[in-house]
Structure 1
Amino acid sequence: MIVWFKHLPEISMDTAEWKPVITNSWFRTHFMKFVYTLQVLFLLSSYFLSLSIPTVYLVLIAISVFIVHEIIHILVVYKKGDISLTFSQFFFWLHTNATLSKSRFWWFMTLPFILLTALPLIVSFFVPSDLRGIFLFISWFNAIVSASDLFNSVLIALKLRGSEFCRGGYRVQPTKRAR
């Protein structure tokens, strides 16, 4: 089930078993400041994008990139649990109550960046110059949208093998012995 612009009901998580993904309380408190800094750096990099595309088209492309970005997130966790798309200030947040393996959660956080930033950037080297600007804009805009996902991808990669993630927390499952 997808819930639009409402939070999912709270679930009880045993704090002895589930630890916060961001274990350092100072970093957890200041996490968004790091995200904002990364976004500003991406915004400043637009200086190198000499685009001759009309603004109305750029706005339509940006809206489309954002929608596709969120759809990619949803497809990764589809049928694993309920999903909620909410917002605060000017950020949209996708929450799920699904318990995801380390690899699935990493894909959840990273796949939109790979498909909408890395891939268009690579493709931009092989397309005619009149299309290059569009691919660079898609890559640039999604990098801004993905700033939080990038930090989370690194944090997920640092967790132990066998970790499971749910609602900002993680736990390490004991490995199963082969028979």
Structure 2
Amino acid sequence: MILWFRHLPRLNIDLAEWNPFIKNNWFREHFMKFVYLLQIIILLMPNFFYIGFGSLNIFTLFLLGILILIPHELLHIIVINKKGNISLTFRGVFFWLHTDAILSKTRFWIFMSLPLIVLSVVPALFSFLASGNIKSTLLIISWINLLISAADIINSFLIAIKPKNSIFYRGYYRVEKN
């Protein structure tokens, strides 16, 4: 079941067994500042590579952002569909997906990384084979999705450095014993 713009019920877990996904309190409190910094860096990337998107006005970029956000979120949903309930909420301009499913390290990493791979890495790679307007379109899609994926990029890295047998549940993780 997908809950649109409502939070899932409060979780009831034994905090003696589960650790916060981001253990460091300072980093947890300032996580979004790192996301904003990454977004600023991504926003400036076309200037570093001399790729100009100057012909696009703000309205067009905003419309493209919405058109890319929809498949981005759908790719997240596909990974966790039928694993548990899903809640799509937002805070400011950020959308957040939450689930009450317990996810393995692999599934959680795929959940965080699939939209990045499909909508940023793949179009960027295909842009090397294209030219003209198709190349520009692929690079714009890749760039906008990178902006959208800033939190996912950081989370994917954090998932990758967790122990091998980790399982994840709503902002917490624990290591399964074999």
Name the structure 2 match of 1:171. Answer: 174
Kept in 2: contact 1:117–1:138 (CA 8 A):
yes
Percent identical residues: 50
Kept in 2: contact 1:49–1:137 (CA 8 A):
no
Name the structure 2 match of 1:66. Answer: 69
TM-score (norm 2): 0.93
Q: State how 1:1-179 maps to structure 2 within 5 Å.
A: 1-47=1-47, 48-51=50-53, 54-55=56-57, 57-175=60-178
Distance 1:132 1:53, change over 3 A: farther
The one-letter code of the counterpart of 2:147 is: I
The number of aligned residues is: 175
SS for the counterpart of 2:84 is coil
Q: Which runs of 5+ in 2 are unaligned?
A: none
The 2-side partners of 1:131 and 1:59 are apart by 19
The one-letter code of the counterpart of 2:32 is: M
Distance 1:54 1:28, change over 3 A: closer
Q: Which runs of 5+ in 1 are unaligned?
A: none
Deviations along 1:20-42, one digit per CA (max 9) or x if unpaired, are: 01111111111111110000001
Q: CA deviation at 1:62?
A: 1.9
Q: CA deviation at 1:46?
A: 3.2
Kept in 1: contact 2:85–2:100 (CA 8 A):
yes
Q: Aligned-residue CA RMSD in angstroms?
A: 1.3
TM-score (norm 1): 0.93
The 2-side partners of 1:80 and 1:131 are apart by 37
Q: CA deviation at 1:162?
A: 1.1
Deviations along 1:51-100, one digit per CA (max 9) or x if unpaired, are: 36554554433211100000000000000000011001111101111100
The 2-side partners of 1:155 and 1:130 are apart by 36
Kept in 1: contact 2:65–2:144 (CA 8 A):
yes
The one-letter code of the counterpart of 2:126 is: V
Q: CA deviation at 1:150?
A: 0.7
